């Protein structure tokens, strides 16, 4: 008899799987990506809670009238999370 200890060091999967493993919101959250801090927005005129993540959001009504919202994300230079932010969110 012996005590076997296993440590999970690497997990592969799609966004729903990773969100369950990391206890994160997942693909329909406000900040859905586990690698970057891109912010999701609601579908215009929708009464539901579904969010989506367009890179060009300059014509979205909520973003167009806000001075603090990001109008367009550059896909080659997304705002990435650092280690401490990742651990805080996880």
pLDDT in tens, 2-15: 999 888 777 777 77
Range list of H helices, the chain: 15-22, 61-64, 83-89
Residue-level pLDDT at 3: 92
Record the pTM: 0.62
Listed ranges 8-12, 20-24, 78-82, 84-88; the one with the highest mean pLDDT:
78-82
User: Binning pLDDT at 50, 70 and 90, where does residue 34 land?
Assistant: confident
Structure tokens at 87: 């651990």
How many Å apart are CA 62 and CA 35, to the nearest integer? 25
**Domain boundaries of the chain, sorted by first residue:** 13-44+52-90
Contact 78, 36 (CB under 8 A): yes
């Amino acid at each position: 008899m012996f005590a076997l200890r296993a440590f999970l060091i690497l997990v592969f999967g799609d966004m729903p799987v990773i969100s369950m493993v990391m206890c994160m919101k997942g693909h329909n959250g406000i900040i859905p990506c586990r690698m970057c801090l891109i912010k999701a927005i609601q579908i215009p005129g929708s009464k539901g809670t579904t969010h989506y993540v367009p890179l060009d959001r300059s014509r979205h009504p909520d973003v167009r009238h806000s001075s603090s919202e990001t109008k367009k994300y550059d896909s080659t230079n997304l705002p990435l999370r650092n280690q401490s932010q990742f651990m805080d969110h996880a």
